[in-house]
Amino acid sequence: MVTVEGLRKLVLDELECYQKDINGGEYNTANRFYKTISSDTVVHHDEVHCVEIIAEYLKPRLEKHSVNLETEDQTKDQNRIDLSASKIINGQRKLLVIEAKGQWHKEIYTAINSQLVERYTIHPDACEQGIYVVIWFGPNEKVAGLKRHNINSSQELKDELTKSLPENLKTFIDIFVLDVSKSSK
């Protein structure tokens, strides 16, 4: 891996492995994204906590490749990148920026451009590339702030997000929807 594109592929591969662990691993991994309020009430964690869980999974796997993973990485104008993966290659830093949102976030369809593209991929070490991660909790949770929506699966959400991505960005930005829903898989 000698490019930001190589970093993207590595992180996407690790996210795919994480999804497989969530879907069929032995540890009920998706449960970490939820908290119990009472004996009959379970709710999802907030976005920041969910990003920390994802980072906790990714960090040791990326370190094996000498890739450093940071959360809330400070950038220009007090902006903070949710996750950033970096590696020094031939004396030059390569930076992969990752913006993450919970499916309920009102700006889920616009943040890919207003945050990831306009604020973070402009970093000179990012080569205008990034990953947009959305955490899917199931069809009974709000999507983009709306309780009534027509999104019934993580794949449907990914398809909708992909449609909203301008054509000129599709080779530079990847969308990954991490399905941590409690529905049967």
User: Average pLDDT of the chain?
Assistant: 91
Distance CA(68)–CA(63), nearest Å, equals 6
Distance CA(128)–CA(92), nearest Å, equals 16
Weakest-pLDDT range from 10-24, 75-89, 160-174: 75-89
Contact assessment for residue 87 and residue 1, using Cβ atoms and an 8 Å cutoff = yes
Residue 37 lies in a domain: yes
Mean pLDDT of the 41-66 span: 94
Residue range of the domain that includes 57 = 4-179
pLDDT at residue 80 is higher than 80: no
Residue 126 lies in a domain: yes
Distance CA(144)–CA(106), nearest Å, equals 4
pLDDT at residue 76 is higher than 80: no
Q: Which of 43, 59, 159 is nearest to 102 (CA)?
A: 43
As a whole number of Å, the CA-based R_g of the chain is 16
Residue 83 lies in a domain: yes
Residue 150 lies in a domain: yes
Residue 184 lies in a domain: no
Distance CA(110)–CA(108), nearest Å, equals 6
How many domains does the structure of the chain reveal?
1
Residue 185 lies in a domain: no
pLDDT at residue 111 is higher than 60: yes
**pLDDT score of 69:** 95
Weakest-pLDDT range from 68-77, 102-111, 119-128, 138-147: 68-77
Residue 88 lies in a domain: yes
**pLDDT score of 1:** 61
**pLDDT score of 109:** 95
pLDDT at residue 78 is higher than 70: no
Residue 102 lies in a domain: yes
Contact assessment for residue 76 and residue 25, using Cβ atoms and an 8 Å cutoff = no
